[in-house]
Structure 1
Amino acid sequence: MDAQFWLLYSVLAARYVFIAGVAFLVFYILLPKKFAGRKIQALSPKRKDYMREVGYSFFTFVVFAAYGVVLSAEWVLPYTQIYTDVHAYSWGYFAFSIVLALVIHDAYFYWTHRLMHHPKLFKAFHLTHHKSVNPSPWAAFSFSPLEAVVEGGIIFVVAFLIPIHPLAIVAFLFFMTVYNVYGHLGYEIYPHWLVNSSLGRWLNTSTNHNMHHKFFKGNYGLYFRYWDEWMGTTHAKYNETLAKLVSPPQEPVQAVKR
């Protein structure tokens, strides 16, 4: 394996350790009592769960780094729509391409995710990830080798489907990591005003994905909820569960003095 592979692997691993590590430090080490009311499942994962999640995640980055090497190879790159001159499409398109990549990824994730839940594929592809019934931030990339291959494939879909700048890819993948860690956080941090807004109701939440891990079906989306809503795969108790977590605390009623 060449220097490019190890550079990519180091960047991927460092990004994961930093983002998941900060989330774990804040919510599981420093301030768990402060956020106790936002804990989705009452119990926390065990040490062995953290170790398993980290171990599989570091192997996932082997697959992801290999994909990066292949994508940038001279026998592949010219056939992609990756461009290096920002002015060829404008800064406006640069920003739009990141959003478009997220929309494409969300569709890709929903349908491959549902496919990996097929009884004939689940054990080989997706069981490893679902060993985290009560996930922690470290579970974000805890995949089996086959699932890592599937999950990493999105980078080829995006690169071949839309014009995209390398820095836009970096931004897209950084946001993906942040949102993936949030999805496995184990705490709901979105405020009630956001999840109850006309836009926010379509955003995926940590509650949504945590329920997927707990119940093993439904809530298949990544960033957004529209595929689950369109396909009727939202868990029946999702809205009820989310409402309990994000509702502002009620002020005690003061007795009226007579």
Structure 2
Amino acid sequence: MLRFLSAQSSFNLWVIFLAENLLVTVLALLFGWLVLQFNRKPIKAASRKEVFICILTNVINTVITYAGFWLWKHGYILLSYTLSWRILFDFVTLFILMDLAMFLFHYAIHRSVLYKAIHRFHHHYADPIPIDLFVLHPLETVGFGSLWLVMLLLFNFNFYAVFIYLMANVFFGIMGHLGIEPIPQSIRKVTPFKYLGTSSFHHQHHLNINHNFGFYTNIWDKLFGTYKG
């Protein structure tokens, strides 16, 4: 895959990366819609503003994807490609490190003037629907994307671990913006589910902006005293 991309012109790369981001968005929204349908939850239509911001987010993510590819091509981002136990190890490491980094970034935004200037835009939607995962202020999208690139620059991860992480990232994002909790409480009490950031966990954050800043887990909120069940 990377060899194929390396042989493409800059224009082709922009087209490919835009198509990739749009495809991921469509599949994520389709998954969210199917979960809501399965749970017989009325599906609220997205506004024109939400659709526009979603498209803008995809454009920004395309720029971030291109930047990541450029950094890899020029040797700034290093990846390994071996099929071994390291895939699982790197995935778990990346999952935990990104969760901590995004928790701190998210918490800092809420505790600074950046909340009113940037992040309050996302919290306009107290009762989120799947598309709201992609409804972010452009500067916040750039911030999260830059955080991701810095993580790849600092550590040498396995390529397949990165791919799995990116799928998990979208999965948790959609689950957090369903507006319902599809996972039964009996399951949510069992390890490891009781440590994960479920739909109700993130929904609580939309209802009360002073709690639940985590993304994939609730570990950091419990450690820093911002957890609300």
| Equivalent in the alignment of 1:69 | 66
Q: Which runs of 5+ in 2 are unaligned?
A: 1-9
| Equivalent in the alignment of 1:201 | 194
**For 1:218, what is the secondary structure of its paired residue?**
coil
Give the distance between the partners of 2:126 and 2:102, measured in 1 at CA: 19
Amino acid corresponding to residue 122 of structure 1 in structure 2: Y
Structure 1 residues 197-206 or 139-148, which shifts more? 197-206
User: How far 1:169 sits from its partner (Å)?
Assistant: 2.0
| Equivalent in the alignment of 1:6 | 15
1:45 and 1:26, CA in 2 relative to 1: closer, same or farther beyond 3 A? closer
Amino acid corresponding to residue 177 of structure 1 in structure 2: V
User: How far 1:93 sits from its partner (Å)?
Assistant: 0.3
User: How far 1:192 sits from its partner (Å)?
Assistant: 2.6
**For 2:85, what is the secondary structure of its paired residue?**
helix
Of the three residues 206, 226, 229, the one matched with 1:233 is 226
> Aligned residues: percent identity?
24
- State the Cα RMSD in Å: 2.2
Of the three residues 28, 41, 58, the one matched with 1:19 is 28
1:51 and 1:167, CA in 2 relative to 1: closer, same or farther beyond 3 A? farther
Conserved? CA contact 1:71–1:77, under 8 Å? no
Conserved? CA contact 1:70–1:76, under 8 Å? no
| Equivalent in the alignment of 1:58 | 55
Give the distance between the partners of 1:167 and 1:51, measured in 2 at CA: 36
| Equivalent in the alignment of 1:105 | 98
Deviation by residue 1:26-70 (Cα, 9 ceiling, x = unmatched): 41xx4454xx6xxxxxxx6753x4443332122112222111212
Of the three residues 157, 169, 176, the one matched with 2:150 is 157
User: How far 1:14 sits from its partner (Å)?
Assistant: 1.0
User: How far 1:145 sits from its partner (Å)?
Assistant: 0.7
| Equivalent in the alignment of 2:4 | none
Matched residues, number:
220
How is 1:169-184 mapped onto 2 (pairs within 5 angstroms)?
169-184=162-177
Of the three residues 124, 127, 132, the one matched with 1:131 is 124
Give the distance between the partners of 1:230 and 1:201, measured in 2 at CA: 14
TM-score of the aligned structures, taking structure 1 as reference length: 0.77
| Equivalent in the alignment of 1:251 | none
Deviation by residue 1:125-153 (Cα, 9 ceiling, x = unmatched): 21221111100111112111110011112
